[in-house]
Structure 1
Amino acid sequence: MQAFDCAIVGAGPAGMSAALALTQGGADVIVLDRADRAGGQIYRSASSSPLPDAASLGPDYAAGADLITRFERSGAKHLAGADAWHIGDDGRILFSYQGDTRELHCREMLLCPGAMERPMPIPGWTLPGVMTAGAAQVMLKSDAVVADGAVFAGSGPLLYLIVAQYLRLGVRVAALVDTTPRRHYLDAAPLLPRAWRQVGQLRKGLSLLREIRAAGVDTYRYAENLEVIGEETAKGLRFSISGQPHEVSADTVFLHHGVQPNLNMTRAMGLAHHWNNAQMCWQVTVDEFGQSAISHVSVAGDGAGIVGADGACAAGRVVAQNMLYHLGRVSRTGRDRNSHADLYYLSSMKPFRRFIDCLYRPTEALRLPRDTETLVCRCEEQSLGDLRAGFEQGARDPNALKSLTRCGMGPCQGRQCGHVVTGLLAQWRKESPDAVGYYRLRSPQRLLTVDELGRYNTIPAEAAK
């Protein structure tokens, strides 16, 4: 069967940038993306924003519109609404498209699954009206929908960005509850001189904080012991600062505690992963060119480790050069020459990344639940108490705990609870997350119907021409 030169899963910054470089290098490229339009989460709807003035979302978002336009004109075949659910180490990809199951084969494969927000399993986090800051951005970017008078709680650049974007649009924000511990500022201070090399990135963050202060938003710093108020729906947020209790009333609470790579695609392939202690998450093991232990499989963007939009674009271009080298379209020397600037940029970003990782390191109190009634697995409604009982019955690793409690067996396949389960078992076993491990995942990576499986088609490489 004839194969595509390259197949890319995911049309975010990394996937689009890689597709541009690959098509410029003469490769036949197909890009699968579950969204209706290219852009990923960061550049969602950047080229077709429903907002009257998309400039309110900032210059970085506006830059995404240009990347999307260039990608759409690149010559790469783009299948929007294509949801990949099996990635084979034999170069085969199975995906859902327009109600059918489709299959394609490729010589080189690039996975760009992106990132997902870290769960914040505090009491009440599953109540209606409680969402993530990323959900606030999805509603804003996709449908121009906002939540007036919401509370934003947590820490990190994304949280401050969405608050600033709300304010620019004239949307009322009830409060910003910042959970960054005081000690983190002291821990991160020694890393600031080297991070200052990326002064532009630091200025962006500082400008967001100044913008929020200038707007007069009630801001609470060093918040602890967060709890969503409400019985049937969210009614606000309760927390403490230096032992002093506080409450803020609101019908919508947005939580954010950083992002982590979306692992299911790379885990289901059986790729090697390692624990990133700085970012407190698992990430796939790849070399500087994004290549995994499987010679024709690469990973780029936040799915390979959190690097941000600019870093994802650079990583996508680097991986593309390595794939062109594998295809015999550039020499090894040409690959290294073409990748030099992007590799240098990625290297220069590391001190800044270390500073950010230290400053906004997820705290155990917000990363792991404390109340025995707090749900850990939302799909199967398994609480902290249920999981502890499973552990006491002898389930010492994530897969054993899954078998005993069904935690991680729901439709999300552990995306929400996986890191929490690893963290809890590490705490109970008094061992490292590396020693505990993660769920064993398999295809399919989404729910399928028998009817869909019965409608089966193959996408030939000629379709890319």
Structure 2
Amino acid sequence: MAFDCVIIGAGPAGMSAALTLSEHGRSALVLDRGVAPGGQIFRSVSTSPLPDRTALGPDYAAGAELVSAYTNSRAKHVAGADVWHIGEDGRILYSHEGTTKQVEAREILICPGAIERPMPIRGWTLPGVMTAGAAQVMLKSDAMVAENAVFAGSGPLLYLIVAQYLRLGVKVAGLVDTTPAENYLKAAPLLPAALGGFGLLRKGLALLSEIRRAGVPVYRNATDLAILGDQRAEGLVFTSDGRQEIKADTVFLHHGVLPNPNMTRALGLAHHWNEDQLAWHVTKDAFGQSSLPHVSVAGDGGGIVGADGARHEGTLAAMNVLTRLGHFASDQRDRLAKPRLAQLRRLARFRRFIDRLYQPRPALRLPQDSETVVCRCEEQRLSDLRQGFEEGARDPNALKSRTRCGMGPCQGRQCGPIVSGLLAKWQDLPVQDVGYYRLRSPQKLLSLEEFSQFQTVVPDEGGTK
């Protein structure tokens, strides 16, 4: 017996889709890697360890309403479910509590969310160097912070986590902003169209003002970043109105986010290169319909749209699923979708402005030092990859065969964007022509013991809240 729809991921997109499907009486199973619904953006919003979760901002607190509505819906939720195979036949395999489970779906909605763009500077693999997203995970999940840390990079998330630290009384050693000065001129023509998202612009300006008022040293137009230290991080050195150095035990890096590609790639969905976001996007229509008829994608996993956009996309994908299941006629779906599609167009204009403004420098997006580690899993350096290229590897899969770069447990999540960029640069080709890793199931390490504990899940046993 198959579920009407299996949703992978319980972030804003997955929860919104599940709500819509359950409201119309359809069986929806949500498989979520997290311990509780919310995804990264609303992580632990219902069980925050912080004495006052409002310190994380009104957008975070507002997520509690969505999580509550989802939790009280008819959708089946399985926490700690790690999906590692999606078949074209609608069969899904996932790990849960030391067992392998199988479920069948008439429709599949993939909402894998985003990953942070790697910043492969010298020393980025040293202990004490993490991402701004990791700082948020520690803060939201365990109320853990790093005193006197350096935050380096650019983009809204970087400024948000610094502001959250300051609201909690945590000292910040410095904010090193790598936004190129020329980006402001490049983004200026897009500002009038982006003013439809004035509320979002105002939030961003308020964050920057909050950081300045707190007296945090802010260094702008920073270049030539490198981590200090041999055995662990001891600080950050960079150029901003001269050579600068900040001593710190913890350095948080952030350079924007990318769609998490592994699940959609392993399924063989069509992708295309988005030059504005410098990322691979799933090729889909306005309702999230992918190149496979029964598979849809919503939220940041298909292309970065933000939390509000993800909620709209999740609902639209669910409307399309209902249409495919015969619950809606297409004209009814289109009529109901009209306001949300209009909101997405407004958000897209703002997103184009943000993407242009915070587009990272090539010298920070791609490694410059030959000894910089590119593949953390297999410890492959830039010089190793260059040697593989000179030996004839011209695409990511050929380079993987020669160097093992991308063969580790993360299956290229960290090195994949860098490898495609390097090969494009070395051959003076568009990234679209270079391509990406060819991925296959399983998408995680499995033990034979786990695989031997095999169970099939059917709709009346879909899981519990």
Q: TM-score, normalised by structure 2?
A: 0.99
CA distance in 1, matches of 2:60, 2:149: 23
Aligned pairs for 1:37-186 within 5 A: 37-186=36-185
Partner of 1:230: 229
CA distance in 2, matches of 1:353, 1:55: 25
**Deviation, structure 1 residue 163:** 0.1
CA distance in 2, matches of 1:408, 1:167: 38
CA distance in 2, matches of 1:384, 1:325: 49
Structure 1: unaligned runs, 5 residues or longer: none
Partner of 1:454: 452
Partner of 2:279: 281
SS in 1 for 2:4: strand
CA distance in 2, matches of 1:459, 1:47: 28
Do residues 262 (structure 1) and 252 (structure 2) align? no
Partner of 1:369: 367
Aligned residue identity for 1:296? H
Do residues 215 (structure 1) and 209 (structure 2) align? no
CA distance in 2, matches of 1:66, 1:102: 31
CA distance in 1, matches of 2:299, 2:419: 25
Contact 1:155 1:360 in 2 (8 A): yes
**Deviation, structure 1 residue 405:** 0.2
Structure 2: unaligned runs, 5 residues or longer: none
**Deviation, structure 1 residue 8:** 0.1
CA distance in 1, matches of 2:318, 2:311: 11
**Deviation, structure 1 residue 197:** 1.1
CA distance in 2, matches of 1:446, 1:283: 22
Do residues 344 (structure 1) and 342 (structure 2) align? yes
CA RMSD after TM alignment: 0.7
SS in 2 for 1:5: strand
CA distance in 2, matches of 1:233, 1:415: 23
SS in 2 for 1:413: coil
CA distance in 1, matches of 2:294, 2:340: 21
Aligned residue identity for 1:44? R
Aligned pairs for 1:244-255 within 5 A: 244-255=242-253
CA distance in 1, matches of 2:348, 2:5: 29
**Deviation, structure 1 residue 337:** 1.6
**Deviation, structure 1 residue 333:** 1.6
- Which of 317, 320, 326 is the equivalent residue of 2:318? 320
**Deviation, structure 1 residue 85:** 0.2
Aligned residue identity for 1:368? L
CA distance in 1, matches of 2:279, 2:290: 18
Measured against aligned partners, the alpha-carbon deviations of 1:53-83 in whole angstroms (never above 9, x if no partner) come to 0000000000111111100111100000010
SS in 1 for 2:192: helix
SS in 2 for 1:274: strand
CA distance in 1, matches of 2:324, 2:385: 46
Aligned residue identity for 1:76? A
Aligned residue identity for 1:151? V
SS in 1 for 2:409: coil
SS in 2 for 1:251: coil
CA distance in 2, matches of 1:424, 1:20: 42
Contact 1:76 1:464 in 2 (8 A): no
**Deviation, structure 1 residue 25:** 1.3
Aligned residue identity for 2:81? A
- Which of 439, 442, 454 is the equivalent residue of 2:440? 442
Q: TM-score, normalised by structure 1?
A: 0.99
Contact 1:30 1:464 in 2 (8 A): yes
Measured against aligned partners, the alpha-carbon deviations of 1:340-369 in whole angstroms (never above 9, x if no partner) come to 111110011121111000000121011000
CA distance in 2, matches of 1:47, 1:403: 45
SS in 2 for 1:239: strand
Do residues 195 (structure 1) and 194 (structure 2) align? yes
Aligned residue identity for 1:349? L
**Deviation, structure 1 residue 190:** 1.2
**Deviation, structure 1 residue 108:** 0.6
Aligned residue identity for 2:447? T
Contact 1:4 1:28 in 2 (8 A): yes
Task: Compare 433-442 and 329-338 and name the one that shifted more.
Answer: 329-338
Aligned residue identity for 2:439? L
SS in 2 for 1:186: helix
Aligned pairs for 1:24-39 within 5 A: 24-39=23-38
Partner of 1:353: 351
Do residues 414 (structure 1) and 404 (structure 2) align? no
**Deviation, structure 1 residue 462:** 2.0
Aligned residue identity for 1:219? V
Measured against aligned partners, the alpha-carbon deviations of 1:405-436 in whole angstroms (never above 9, x if no partner) come to 00000000000000000000000011000100
Aligned pairs for 1:330-341 within 5 A: 330-341=328-339
Do residues 382 (structure 1) and 373 (structure 2) align? no
Do residues 433 (structure 1) and 431 (structure 2) align? yes
Aligned residue identity for 1:121? P
Contact 1:280 1:362 in 2 (8 A): no
Sequence identity percentage: 64
CA distance in 2, matches of 1:237, 1:86: 40
Measured against aligned partners, the alpha-carbon deviations of 1:357-416 in whole angstroms (never above 9, x if no partner) come to 000012101100000000000000000000000000001100000000000000000000
**Deviation, structure 1 residue 464:** 4.2
Aligned residue identity for 1:27? R
Measured against aligned partners, the alpha-carbon deviations of 1:419-457 in whole angstroms (never above 9, x if no partner) come to 000000000011000100000000000010000000100
SS in 2 for 1:342: helix
